[in-house]
């Protein structure tokens, strides 16, 4: 079973990200489960969502305590929450930022992870360019596909189209592909 | 879930928003407005009390009626809950299980449904989202067969907000399974009747006995309808209880709802190590399947009832009910209260709990993952100060939630 | 015999029946084929204004709807004295659910009828003032704002009578009830409290709001008739004196109701979409003392000039606000 945990703030599409990821896995014939973990709906409040992917039925209902991959949609969360809690030794870390891990002050955490398992990508900027809105979620899924291989980029594309049909889906897909290319060349 | 309800061709939907049920009702509203769900009146009511009251009127006038609520909302309509079952109206209501305040808490536990367990509604609990869909479809049929309202209990957030692939039946299958509503009593100018008379001491007992008797009949009807459902849809999604690796188990965990998912994973791990452990999941909590549970428990060495609710001043609610089914047997029944107010139930905690159970190293009642130090500290304050302050706020401060909020 | 135009000086009186009128102008009550929706044999007190008001209103509604009517009733006197198990005095389809939800239940019935295409079957919700102005207020407002196709009839006897005469928000200032006992100089019910649901109903902009009284049957029936000709949320408040609760001779119910209207204390009017369209002029103004002195619940007020003045002020204010005096000054 693969477990992904996504951290962000309300309004950034954290919950949709988990949903799209689960749809992508489903389209590949896998079993998937996406669950949000949130409080009262409020823009800007920390939000966590989980996604599990497996070849067999997923019965587990606990929160994702030991993620195989962590997506940080908002690096300002480092101060507020221990986002890295439980990340596996060989886990993947994907951060939405234009800064380096040193600048973010997390180089120690990062050092523990294997080569190629850490990726920073300015997803919000990419989203603003293609989608014209600061919604980095679809973009980050493109990058996730590149660095982890948990799901294929084509599945991500189809999932985005399913969730956001029409023009909105198209621009998100374009942004996701850009992220995919960028993350692929990095690692 | 909205889709499943829609397939049942409800004629009147009247619900008031409350977390975590909001999107079910919203989705139904869209289906009605968008024209996918025809011949259906969708009413925006001003309170939960109004929601169930509108449902009572609608059902009494012969329309298939649906509503949904949770937690505080269920309590706000409490009077109407008893009224609906007393009047024998086959309303189907989803309860997105959520804790009850005070302290206010929006996360999952089963206190809400439990608060209405004796009101005369049939209470069915879903283990997965697939089951939730299937049980809603069966619920309408059960309700109309017995002329009794049915509560479909679905763990809030854990199930209501989880995204999983599901097999949604098609309209033809559902129509085949669920014929149009034939009311046993109806307000009709062509054949006027009075419904809701005052009943005095001379007849009240008999009327209430009949309600009880009908729930006893439900013990047969529920499995029958589950069988019929399986015949058409191919899934075993109903009935009174389900078991998991229970046959030769020395230790049996009894529970309700979605937590069986996590429990099953732990059971598999422990079985791999040769430990004989299994589970019984109660699907129909009312009527309470005394015989079925007795049969399931009679050969085991010990029973652990895992529940997401609490009888303040007594301990386990489900445990008390299970103990009644267990009467005559000598194996110990341990009550474990867990997951209150949405506290996550982890494999690690369950593993530890089950290991202790298997060596009978459990108290009669255990609160899973209780922070004893926090409790002790607060009880200390209560002793020391004349005005120790509000308990909930004190505990939050202790745990650091309040301070963290101040610094960010 | 040739047709003769005979002047009936007694037309326009408040006499119920008016057997000298043409049959089309007679009241429903005066017709042999009245539905008697609230049939005899119920357990109301002698002289009960509500029993009278309910029969008047429902029979009129039955004629207006061609006997296609369903009623939802709140808990209260009316519900209790009409349905002592195993009997029922109702000849119409009738449901009693709870104290505070009659309007919501009616909303549900109306919705069911709409779905089933039963456009000619109409719905009435009814209850006493307690179930309407207090505990049922939330549901009532909800029904109004949704403009559900329900006529809500409130039988106003100014207190919770069924439970032993307690104060409701419809209880008038000065009145003695079990929870507003006049003690020493303290009045019975407070004067600066209470609410007017007809005015609140008007504030919801619903198609029709009216008040009526059991002392004037033609007017009451006409208003029910009018209400049933309209679709959407409608409200009718009927003044129904309670001999037991108010402390008057059971034979005087009609007289008491007459005096309440003629003193200005119970304004009789109609409104549509929030604007008053008609008000019944006072024929022969009655001083409030004349009205109060017939009821033991106001005994205390009569001994207290201050309180008496307050009651008079209410009457005068109503007369002004609702235009209850005709320009001729009120004497015919």
Residue C110 resides in a domain: yes
CATH number of the domain that residue A43 is part of: 3.40.920.10
The domain tally of chain C equals 1
On the question of pLDDT at C197 being above 50, the answer is: yes
CB contact under 8 A, B261 and A59: yes
Nearest Cα residue to B84 out of B48, B109, B110, B111: B48
Whose tokens are 């439900």? That residue is B218
Domain carrying residue A146: 2-186
C225: left (phi over 0), alpha (psi -120 to 50) or beta: alpha
On the question of pLDDT at C7 being above 90, the answer is: no
Spell out which residues of chain A touch residue B308, defining contact as CB-CB under 8 Å. none
CB B161, CB A36: distance < 8 Å: yes
Around Cβ A68, how many Cβ atoms within 10 Å? 19
Residue C204 resides in a domain: yes
CB contact under 8 A, A61 and B345: yes
Predicted confidence at residue C326, as pLDDT, reads 82
Which class for C166: exposed (0-12), middle (13-18), buried (19 or more C-beta within 10 A)? middle
Q: Do domains B2-233 and B241-367 have the same CATH topology?
A: yes
Angle between helices C217-228 and C49-64 (to 10 degrees): 40
Sheet holding B365-367, edge to edge: B241-244, B277-282, B251-255, B302-307, B333-337, B365-367
Q: Which residue of B has its CA nearest to A37?
A: B157
Ranges of each domain in chain B? 2-233, 241-367, 372-407
The shortest C-alpha distance from C90 to chain B (Å) reads 7
The shortest C-alpha distance from C189 to chain B (Å) reads 29
Predicted confidence at residue B403, as pLDDT, reads 58
Q: Which two tokens stand for residue B82?
A: 């008893």
The domain tally of chain A equals 1
CATH number of the domain that residue C70 is part of: 3.40.50.970
On the question of pLDDT at B405 being above 70, the answer is: no
- In angstroms, the CA B74 to CA B16 distance is 11
Average pLDDT, chain B: 95
- In angstroms, the CA C262 to CA C281 distance is 8
Spell out which residues of chain B touch residue A60, defining contact as CB-CB under 8 Å. 261-262, 265, 347
For B344, the closest of A23, A36, A62 (CB atoms) is A62
Instruction: Identify the CATH class of B241-367.
Output: alpha beta
CB contact under 8 A, C107 and B57: yes
Spell out which residues of chain B touch residue C95, defining contact as CB-CB under 8 Å. 56-57, 60, 187, 194-196
Which class for B269: exposed (0-12), middle (13-18), buried (19 or more C-beta within 10 A)? middle
Among A130-139, B117-126, B395-404, C160-169, which stretch is predicted with the lowest mean pLDDT?
B395-404
CATH number of the domain located at residue range(s) B2-233 in this protein: 3.40.50.970
Predicted confidence at residue B370, as pLDDT, reads 96
Spell out which residues of chain B touch residue A58, defining contact as CB-CB under 8 Å. 164, 261
Predicted confidence at residue C332, as pLDDT, reads 37
pLDDT digits (tens, 9 = 90+) for C147-174: 999 999 999 999 999 898 999 999 999 9
- In angstroms, the CA A11 to CA C201 distance is 41
Predicted confidence at residue C33, as pLDDT, reads 85
- In angstroms, the CA C80 to CA C43 distance is 8
The shortest C-alpha distance from A186 to chain B (Å) reads 32
pLDDT digits (tens, 9 = 90+) for A2-14: 999 999 998 899 9
Nearest Cα residue to B91 out of B46, B42, B52: B52
Three-state DSSP class for B112? helix
Subunits in contact with chain A (3 or more CB pairs closer than 8 Å): B
On the question of pLDDT at B84 being above 50, the answer is: yes
- In angstroms, the CA B257 to CA A145 distance is 34
Whose tokens are 């120690």? That residue is A108
pLDDT digits (tens, 9 = 90+) for A14-51: 999 999 999 999 999 999 999 988 665 567 788 999 99
ipTM: 0.89
Domain carrying residue C155: 23-322
The pTM assigned to this predicted structure is: 0.91
Find the mean pLDDT for residues B275-290: 98
CB C223, CB C236: distance < 8 Å: yes
Nearest Cα residue to A17 out of A114, A156, A186: A156
Which class for A82: exposed (0-12), middle (13-18), buried (19 or more C-beta within 10 A)? exposed
pLDDT digits (tens, 9 = 90+) for A135-152: 999 999 999 999 999 999
Spell out which residues of chain C touch residue B46, defining contact as CB-CB under 8 Å. 138-139, 141-142, 145
Does a cis peptide bond (omega within 30 degrees of 0) precede residue B287? yes
pLDDT digits (tens, 9 = 90+) for A110-126: 889 998 899 999 999 99
């Amino acid at each position: 079973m693969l477990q992904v945990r996504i951290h962000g703030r309300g309004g950034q599409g954290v919950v949709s990200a988990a949903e799209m990821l689960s749809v992508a896995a489903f389209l590949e014939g896998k079993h998937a489960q996406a669950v949000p973990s949130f409080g009262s709906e409020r823009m800007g409040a920390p939000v966590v969502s989980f996604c599990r992917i497996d070849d067999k039925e997923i019965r587990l209902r606990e929160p994702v305590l030991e993620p195989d991959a962590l997506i940080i949609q908002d690096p300002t969360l480092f101060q507020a929450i221990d986002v890295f809690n439980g990340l596996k030794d060989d886990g993947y870390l994907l951060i939405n930022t234009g800064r380096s891990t040193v600048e973010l002050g997390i180089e120690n955490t990062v050092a523990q992870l294997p080569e190629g398992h850490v990726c920073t990508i300015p997803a919000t900027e990419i989203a603003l360019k293609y989608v014209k809105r600061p919604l980095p979620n679809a973009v980050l899924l493109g990058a996730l596909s590149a660095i982890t291989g948990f799901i294929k980029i084509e599945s991500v594309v189809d999932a985005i189209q399913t969730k956001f049909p029409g023009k909105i889906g198209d621009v998100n897909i374009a942004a996701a592909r850009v992220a995919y290319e960028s993350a692929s060349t990095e690692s | 879930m909205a889709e499943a309800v829609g397939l049942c061709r409800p004629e009147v939907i009247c619900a008031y928003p409350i977390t975590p049920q909001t999107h079910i009702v919203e989705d139904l509203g869209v289906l009605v407005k968008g024209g996918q769900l025809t011949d259906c009146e969708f009413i925006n009511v001003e309170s939960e009390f109004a929601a169930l009251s509108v449902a009572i009127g609608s059902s009494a006038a012969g329309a298939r009626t649906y509503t949904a609520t949770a937690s505080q909302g269920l309590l706000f309509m409490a009077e109407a809950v008893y009224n609906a079952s007393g009047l024998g109206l086959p309303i189907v209501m989803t309860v997105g299980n959520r804790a009850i305040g005070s302290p206010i808490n929006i996360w999952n536990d089963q206190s809400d449904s439990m608060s209405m367990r004796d009101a005369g509604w049939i209470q069915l609990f879903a283990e997965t989202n697939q089951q939730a869909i299937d049980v809603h479809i069966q619920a309408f049929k059960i309700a109309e067969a017995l002329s009794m309202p049915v509560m479909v209990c679905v763990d809030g957030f854990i199930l209501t907000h989880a995204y999983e692939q599901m097999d949604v039946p098609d309209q033809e299958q559902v129509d085949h399974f669920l014929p149009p509503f034939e009311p046993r009593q109806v307000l009709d100018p062509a054949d006027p009747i009075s419904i809701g008379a005052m009943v005095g001491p001379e007849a009240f007992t008999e009327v209430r006995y009949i309600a009880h008797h009908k729930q006893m009949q439900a013990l047969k009807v529920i499995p029958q309808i589950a069988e019929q459902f399986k015949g058409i849809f191919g899934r075993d999604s109903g009935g009174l209880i389900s078991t998991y690796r229970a046959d030769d188990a020395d230790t049996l965990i009894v529970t309700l709802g979605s937590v069986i998912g996590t429990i099953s994973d732990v059971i598999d791990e422990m079985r791999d190590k040769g430990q004989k452990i299994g589970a019984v999941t109660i699907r129909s909590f009312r009527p309470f399947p005394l015989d079925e549970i007795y049969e399931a428990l009679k050969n085991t060495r010990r029973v652990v009832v895992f529940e997401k609710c609490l009888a303040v001043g007594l301990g386990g609610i489900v445990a008390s009910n299970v103990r009644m089914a267990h009467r005559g047997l000598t194996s110990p029944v341990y009550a474990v209260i867990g997951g209150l107010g949405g506290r996550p139930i982890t494999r690690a905690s369950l593993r530890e709990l089950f290991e202790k159970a298997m060596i009978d190293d459990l108290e009669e009642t255990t609160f899973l993952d209780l922070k004893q130090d926090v409790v002790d500290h607060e009880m200390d304050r209560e002793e020391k100060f004349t005005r120790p302050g509000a308990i909930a706020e004190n505990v939050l401060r202790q745990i650091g939630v309040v301070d963290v909020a101040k610094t960010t | 015999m040739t047709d003769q135009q005979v002047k009936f000086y007694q037309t326009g009186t408040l006499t119920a029946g008016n057997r000298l009128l043409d049959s089309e102008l007679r009241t429903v009550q005066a017709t042999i084929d009245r539905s008697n929706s609230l049939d005899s044999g119920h357990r109301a007190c002698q002289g009960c204004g509500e029993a009278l008001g309910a029969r008047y209103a429902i029979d009129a509604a039955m004629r207006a709807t061609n006997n296609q009517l369903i009623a939802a009733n709140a808990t209260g006197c009316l519900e209790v004295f009409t349905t002592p198990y195993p009997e029922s005095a109702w000849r119409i389809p009738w449901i009693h659910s709870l104290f505070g939800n009659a309007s919501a239940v009616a909303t549900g019935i109306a919705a069911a009828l709409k779905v089933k295409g039963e456009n000619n079957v109409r719905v009435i919700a009814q209850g006493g003032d307690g179930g309407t102005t207090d505990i049922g207020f939330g549901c009532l407002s909800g029904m109004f704002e949704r403009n559900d196709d329900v006529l809500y009839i409130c039988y106003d006897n100014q207190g919770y009578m069924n439970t032993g005469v307690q104060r409701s928000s419809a209880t008038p200032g000065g009145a003695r009830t079990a929870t507003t006992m006049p003690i020493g100089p303290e009045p019975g019910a407070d004067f600066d409290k209470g609410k007017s649901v007809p005015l609140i109903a008007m504030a919801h902009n619903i198609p029709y709001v009216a008040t009526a009284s059991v002392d004037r049957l033609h007017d009451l029936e006409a208003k029910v008739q009018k209400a049933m000709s309209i679709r959407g949320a409608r409200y009718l408040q009927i003044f129904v004196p309670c001999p037991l609760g108010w402390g008057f001779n059971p034979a005087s119910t009609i007289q008491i109701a007459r005096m309440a209207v003629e003193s200005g204390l119970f304004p009789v009017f109609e409104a549509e979409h929030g604007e008053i369209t008609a008000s019944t002029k006072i024929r022969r103004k009655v001083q409030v003392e004349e009205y109060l002195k017939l009821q033991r619940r106001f005994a205390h007020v009569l001994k207290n000039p201050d309180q008496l003045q307050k009651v008079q002020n209410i009457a005068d204010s109503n007369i002004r606000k609702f235009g209850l005096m005709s320009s001729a000054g009120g004497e015919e």
